[in-house]
């Protein structure tokens, strides 16, 4: 979701709080647990609460064309967004995207303080794609970061969108696109 349909939440929080270490995302760090443990430590160090992050999220808007992209895609096929975001972050953005189905993780919160996070299952994006394929779905996936590559490998067709050069270089087997319009053309081609 983030980086493809919506802005990166952690980057927006970094900009609002002036904490540059929070700019680090799955585009930079392939180890999700290392990334999240670092984020939790930074939040604790600076006394940032869930409500502080939710306030920033409430000001965000989907990337240009994202809602239209999803609306058109839903006329062609079923759509499920697999994301490493959290339930407590997603609602304001989902509303603006016309409530697409989102499968994501959950934060552990005590007194407005984020103390941990719970994965649905390890490598949930890949596992979801594997499960969909076992049910004989033709799965087309797209993502922008290291945390998407296992999902892309498991899909019938996988695309990188808005991916940084380091990810494109490490995963040249995926067609890289730079716009939702271009992605839609490739998705339509794989569904034909």
Rounded CA separation 87/73 (Å) = 23
CA 105, 110, 115, 116 torsion: positive or negative? negative
The number of residues making up the chain comes to 192
Report pLDDT for 30. Answer: 87
DSSP string of 68-79, one letter each residue: HHHHHHHHHS--
Report pLDDT for 76. Answer: 95
- Residues of the chain under the 50 pLDDT cut: none
pLDDT tens, position by position, 25-41: 888 888 999 999 999 99
The per-residue pLDDT of the chain, averaged, comes to: 95
Rounded CA separation 32/123 (Å) = 10
Report pLDDT for 27. Answer: 84
Report pLDDT for 29. Answer: 87
Rounded CA separation 155/145 (Å) = 16
Rounded CA separation 149/7 (Å) = 19
Of residues 35, 1, 15, the one with CA closest to residue 144:
1
Structure tokens at 8: 């990166």
Report pLDDT for 145. Answer: 92
Structure tokens at 124: 């949930």
pLDDT tens, position by position, 84-107: 999 999 999 999 999 999 999 999
Place of tokens 């934060």: 107
Rounded CA separation 1/42 (Å) = 23
pLDDT tens, position by position, 60-73: 999 999 999 999 99
Structure tokens at 31: 């180890």
Report pLDDT for 28. Answer: 87
Report pLDDT for 102. Answer: 96
């Amino acid at each position: 979701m983030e980086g493809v349909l919506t802005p990166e939440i952690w980057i927006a929080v970094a900009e609002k709080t002036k904490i540059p270490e929070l700019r680090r995302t799955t585009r930079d760090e392939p180890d999700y647990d290392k990334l999240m443990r670092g984020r939790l430590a930074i939040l604790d160090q600076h006394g940032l609460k869930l409500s502080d992050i939710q306030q920033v999220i409430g000001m965000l808007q989907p990337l240009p064309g994202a809602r239209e992209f999803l609306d058109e895609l839903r006329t062609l096929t079923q759509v499920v967004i697999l994301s490493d975001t959290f339930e407590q972050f997603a609602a304001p953005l989902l509303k603006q995207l016309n409530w697409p189905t989102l499968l994501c993780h959950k934060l552990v919160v005590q007194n407005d303080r984020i103390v941990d996070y719970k994965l649905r299952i390890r490598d949930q994006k890949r596992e979801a794609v594997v499960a969909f394929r076992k049910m004989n779905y033709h799965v087309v996936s797209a993502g922008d970061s290291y945390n998407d590559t296992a999902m892309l490998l498991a899909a019938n067709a996988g695309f990188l969108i808005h991916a940084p050069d380091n990810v494109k270089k490490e995963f040249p087997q995926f067609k890289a696109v730079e716009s939702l319009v271009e992605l839609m053309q490739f998705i339509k081609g794989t569904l034909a």
